[in-house]
Amino acid sequence: MPGSDTAPGAARAPEAVKILIAGGFGVGKTTMVGSVSEITPMHTEEYLTEAGVEVDDLSGVEDKGTTTVALDFGRITLTPDLVLYLFGTPGQQRFWFMWNDLALGALGGVVLVDTRRLETSFAAIDFFERRGIPFVVGANGFDGEHLYASESIRDALALPHGTPVVPCDARERASCRDVLLALMDHLIAVAAAQPTPEPAG
């Protein structure tokens, strides 16, 4: 598998793909990125204009013309010519919905939920549904607990039929890997079932 068929110094540029890790504030998105990334998660920011956005609380924001959205991201080199980036969206989640480039070209998404406060992840689910981006739900069990069955979570979130709900622990690499595998299986199933994007709501 790791045979290098490119000459040294003439390395072929690898391809890059991305998966979004979304969910409510404090639900473990950056933790999950860090659990599977081969590098310490990196942090970057983007300015977004607020035009067209309903902003009801900008107290403390000095420049009301723009807002800053932060991103934490990690990298997984899957093969010598294929790199996966995981983008998590820490805090201020309502703003990153405006960042089109974030969603553009994403293979799919993981919506992390805290089962004690599911409502904080509604917006992330809505974001993926509106854009026709397939996703799975990772039910992050804090303190190793999973209080609710996946079916209950699915009902409470009113998930589209077939959307997997995977119990997980965002701190555990193997657990995060399993969530990503569930996502890939879902993406492959979606691609097989419907080659065209879902109709917009």
- The residues of the shown chain that bind other proteins, judged by CB under 8 A, are 11, 13-18, 36, 42-47, 68, 71, 73, 75-76, 78-79, 82-85, 87, 101-107, 131-133, 173, 177, 180-181, 184-185, 187-188, 190-192, 194-197
Q: How far is the CB of 146 from other proteins (least distance, A)?
A: 22
Query: Nearest CA to 33 among 77, 88, 81, 70?
Result: 88
Query: Around Cβ 17, how many Cβ atoms within 10 Å?
Result: 13
Phi–psi pair at 130, nearest 5 degrees = -60, -35
Beta carbon of residue 39, minimum distance to other proteins (angstroms, whole number) = 9
User: How many residues comprise the chain?
Assistant: 201
User: What single letter denotes the amino acid at residue 197?
Assistant: P
Q: Which is nearer to other proteins, 102 or 118 (CB)?
A: 102
Contacts of 51 (CB under 8 A, 6+ apart): none
What is the closest distance, in whole angstroms, from the C-beta atom of residue 147 to other proteins in the complex? Answer: 27
Tell me the CA end-to-end span of the chain in Å, nearest whole number: 43
For other proteins, the closer CB: 160 or 197: 197
Q: Which two tokens mark 115?
A: 């089962």
CB of 96 to other proteins, least distance (A): 12
Do the Cβ atoms of 114 and 24 come closer than 8 Å?
Answer: yes
For residues 93 and 123, the answer to whether their CB atoms sit within 8 Å is: yes
Residue 133: CB minimum distance to other proteins, A:
5
- Cβ proximity to other proteins, 155 vs 198, nearer residue: 198
* Nearer to other proteins among residue 79 and residue 155 (C-beta): 79
Which of 15/119 has CB closer to other proteins? Answer: 15
